[in-house]
Amino acid sequence: MSQKILVLLFVSAVLVSAACFADDSNANSAALTGNPIYKKDCAKCHGKTAEGRHFGGPSLVSEKVAGASADELRGMIANGKGHMPKFTGKLADSDIDQLVQQIKAANQK
Ligand code: HEC
């Protein structure tokens, strides 16, 4: 009888820890997607989770972004490209720098 309870406790402990690990995949992008500037100016195209939107912007968590230098990302945000608007004059340099750091962090494995 008590053995069954132990087995039950063990199984539920495993399930609970599995649920915690499942959450970890997005932990690195939390700073970016929690940034009020991101929510206001970027999420409508790049998505609430920064993983992109159909007919909007591409995912900001990708091989391509991971391979881009901080300067390239800063240039992309400051000057825009194609349907990506430019944010020079709309955001302070320090805000753009912070976004660059948070995009970099989101792409760290
Ligand atoms: C109006 C929609 C729109 C908004 C708003 C927008 N983006 Fe984009 N973004 C795009 C599109 C479209 C591209 C792809 C541009 C291309 O390569 O032609 C892009 C590309 C990018 C890239 C390069 C990604 C890559 O794969 O090379 C970065 C970084 C980026 N955006 C960051 C941001 C940030 C940070 C903000 C908010 C300050 C933002 N974007 C707001 C549409 C948008």
Question: pLDDT tens-digit profile of 53-82?
Answer: 999 999 999 999 999 999 999 999 999 999
Ligand 1: which atom is nearest the Cα of residue 44? 5
| CATH number of the domain residue 94 falls in | 1.10.760.10
39 versus 14: the higher-pLDDT residue is 39
Task: Specify burial of residue 9 (Cβ count, 10 A radius: 0-12, 13-18, 19+).
Answer: exposed
Q: Give the C-alpha separation, 57 to 96, whole Å.
A: 17
Per the domain annotation, does 40 fall within a domain?
yes
Residue nearest to atom 29 of ligand 1 (CA): 73
What are φ and ψ of residue 7, in 5° steps? -60, -45
Copy the structure tokens of residue 20.
């915690």
- The reply to whether 16 falls in a domain is no
Task: Please report the pLDDT score of residue 69 as a whole number.
Answer: 98
Does 11 reside within a domain? no
What is the domain range of residue 78? 27-106
Count of domains forming the chain = 1
pLDDT > 70 in the chain, percent = 76
Residues in the ligand 1 pocket, defined by CB under 6 Å: 41-42, 44-46, 56-58, 60, 62, 64-65, 73, 76-77, 81-85, 87, 99, 103
Q: Which atom of ligand 1 is nearest to the CA of 62?
A: 26
Residue 76 belongs to some domain of the structure: yes
Residue 8 lies in a domain: no
| pTM metric for this prediction | 0.82
Distance between Cα 35 and ligand 1 center (Å): 16
